[in-house]
A and B are shown apart, each in its own frame.
Chain A
């Protein structure tokens, strides 16, 4: 048996499932009220600023004369909120669990496998993402920005967006060495937030930049949420689902490898 085989053995072998770790997370979070409050307050603040405040300055959505700017921006902000919730859990939270609290050094000494640890991380982060997405959807309704029943599709869409970003985030967490490295994480997230058509359509860019933006996962996530929100599901949704499913599969597979490398010495 080679070392790689041995590592693979320690890494896989599903047995206990994800419930034990999810139970642990529930124990930890049931003492913290901030997450629930934030899930409602933060979207309200963002909608107030970007939708109403900026919206009054901009008027209607560029190129879409029947859509108010607030209605255009809200789905983009929602996608960002889902991305932030999921990655906060798998980048910041998982970094803490892997390297600061060393939770997983303890867990791998039990029958739980690394594949199960990764799965539990991803389910939990997805749940956080869906909570953020649903909270945001409620805030949009409060601002009168929900017009179609199709908007309910935003909930499952949030789950897919959260899962894809959670898996990518876990990979990032495995590379982070200390808290200072988080500024580089910010360096990736911020431009995505600003340029992935959150605030204005792809058409404002020259073709070269458009191609670049079309590679960004947040661009597809925003499409996946904006189309049902505006009540018009089309080809972009199909592309977005394909993109995010592929991203999830690839990142998930690599996250298990990375976690194995970090945890098995």
Chain B
């Protein structure tokens, strides 16, 4: 893992740009237990995880709902004290220096949580003041950030008039008001339409190229593949795998995946036949999903030939590159998005 991190930082070429004093964030045996309250049993949300990240990285927490991603993010944001374990950030201890750490990070919460009583510009002005920034500084940065978020012509409207994509861009602009070294994004594109997602990704790439370290959670594979240099996959409060998107795919699944769908009448018989093909010389493994079969193979076309040779005629057959979705399915036996 150690070597992986270093090489990742080296290829990005950002590690040398800012003076680096050890890892930016380092968690050891980090645990969060939500105590039992009002009938609900105690819940171990995060179960002794370790991770570290360097300056300039884009780091992702990937996993389904309830995996512990948001609890981890809240601890990194220093708004939720860890139950046990250590969390060091920016050379400080998150448990004792929360306020000083919060001054240097930016947070984009999952629900936009913009101040609905204020206008777009006032949201930035007021939020900047929460960081103890002077009126003049906040004013100057607000203008730049409105430009960054492409919201200049909405500046004096109430936030309730904004679309979902605009709200999210404003939330990101708001999180940058203190010029943070580290930006936390919790499910940044959930609920946005494809076009709004792409605009947002573009803004995040821009930040990354400026040397801002990003930590994000997502349950979208394509987002993780697009944005993250390195990621951990979480399930049930634990980290089940760690690495770059490519290295995770290489380590846990084959290069390609063949997706097969059968007519309802044939499905049961066909499933048995396909299952018998793996592990074999071509087909390495088969996963049975409610509506389709996934055949893992280094060459999907060869696998399809084998399936056809076994006398099967699928309704549809799709050969695609393996994705993080397949990694997750392989590691946990469950699909990521239910």
Contacts and interface: CB of A to CB of B under 8 A. Distances in A.
Interface in B56-86: 74, 77-83
Contact of B118 (A28, A107, A111, A113): A28
Contacts of A105: 79, 109, 113
A6 B79 CA distance: 10
B276 interface: no
A9 B102 CA distance: 13
A106 B109 contact: yes
Interface stretch (B123-131, B220-228, B263-271): B123-131
Contacts of A17: 132
Given A3-B81, A3-B83, A23-B126, A10 B98 contact: yes
A112 B81 contact: no
B99 interface: yes
B103 interface: yes
Contacts of B335: none
Contacts of A23: 126, 129
B95 A1 contact: yes
Contacts of A28: 117-118
Contacts of A6: 81-82, 95
B43 to A, nearest CB: 11
Nearest to B135: A23
Contacts of A20: 126, 129-130, 132
A158 B178 CA distance: 39
B130 A16 contact: yes
Interface in A94-111: 101-103, 105-111
Contact of B79 (A15, A19, A101, A109): A109
A17 B125 CA distance: 16
Contact of B132 (A16, A21, A101, A108): A16
Given A3-B83, A265-B80, A15 B118 contact: no
A111 B131 contact: yes
A13 B81 CA distance: 15
Interface residues on A, range: 20 to 34
A206 B207 CA distance: 73
Given A10-B98, A15-B132, A109 B77 contact: yes
Interface centre among A1, A105, A110, A264 (most CB of B within 10 A): A110
A16 B107 contact: no
Contacts of A3: 81, 83
B118 A27 contact: yes
B126 A10 contact: no
Nearest to A110: B130
A18 to B, nearest CB: 11
B34 interface: yes
Contacts of B125: 27
Contacts of B74: 265
B181 interface: no
A264 B81 contact: yes
Contacts of B118: 24, 27-28
A24 B80 contact: no
Contacts of B117: 27-28, 101
B34 A265 contact: yes
A265 B81 CA distance: 8
A194 interface: no
Contacts of B129: 16, 19-20, 23-24
A27 B126 contact: yes
Given A111-B130, A111-B131, A13 B99 contact: yes
Given A27-B118, A102-B113, A265-B34, A111 B95 contact: no
Nearest to B184: A109
A107 B100 CA distance: 14
B132 A111 contact: yes
A107 B107 CA distance: 11
Nearest to A6: B81
A41 interface: no
B116 A101 contact: yes
Nearest to A116: B130
Interface string A203-245: 0000000000000000000000000000000000000000000
Given A13-B98, A113-B99, 11 more contacts: A6-B81, A10-B79, A13-B99, A19-B129, A20-B132, A23-B129, A27-B125, A101-B115, A102-B113, A105-B113, A264-B81
Interface of A: 1, 3, 6-7, 9-10, 13, 15-17, 19-21, 23-24, 27-28, 101-103, 105-113, 264-265
The 3 A-B residue pairs with the shortest CB-CB distance, nearest first, are: A6-B81, A20-B129, A110-B130
